[in-house]
């Protein structure tokens, strides 16, 4: 069960990081 929580947290971090990068670097999108 803990692996599911770890994977979910990792996916959330990656998605949030990508969204933050897209907001900080709008000229690349």
Q: What is the pLDDT of residue 27?
A: 76
pTM for the structure as a whole:
0.63
As for how many domains the chain has, the answer is: 1
Structure confidence by residue, pLDDT tens digits, 1-29: 899 999 999 999 999 999 999 999 877 65
Q: What is the pLDDT of residue 1?
A: 84
**Full residue range of the structural domain in which residue 12 is found:** 1-29
Q: Is the CB of residue 22 less than 8 Å from the CB of residue 29?
A: yes
Residue 22, C-beta contacts closer than 8 angstroms, at least 6 positions apart: 28, 29
């Amino acid at each position: 069960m803990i692996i599911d929580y770890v994977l979910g947290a990792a996916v959330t971090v990656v998605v949030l990081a990508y969204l933050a990068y897209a907001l900080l670097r709008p000229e690349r999108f």
